[in-house]
Amino acid sequence: MLFCCISGTDEKMEASLITRLSTVLRDLLRMSKLLTPDDLELDWKKLYDQHERLVYGNDANIGLLCVPIHIDKSLDSLTILCRPYFSKDATEEMLRQIFRCL
């Protein structure tokens, strides 16, 4: 549920709320004994899109979006903790996405 809130496509959600929710989700995912990759599968694309919008988006770059200072580090650490919960095909999909941008 937290992941859905963070990675949702709702662009009206404040970046500070996303930062707080990602902190809570990071704390939960650190308890790896509670959730195994067999129990949960997360969509990497939604998290990637949210990261792109908040860190590299035009609104954030020109100051139209009020973004917390360390949101990039917060989302990066969340991505690292979410990595085991991505699907088996996620690496191939990520590479296709990256090569499209080159």
pLDDT (tens digit per residue) in 45-89: 888 888 888 877 766 655 666 677 788 888 889 889 999 999 889
Q: Mean pLDDT in the chain? A: 80
Residues 6+ apart with CB under 8 A from 6: 18, 21, 22, 25, 47, 50, 78
Tokens linked to 23: 């902190």
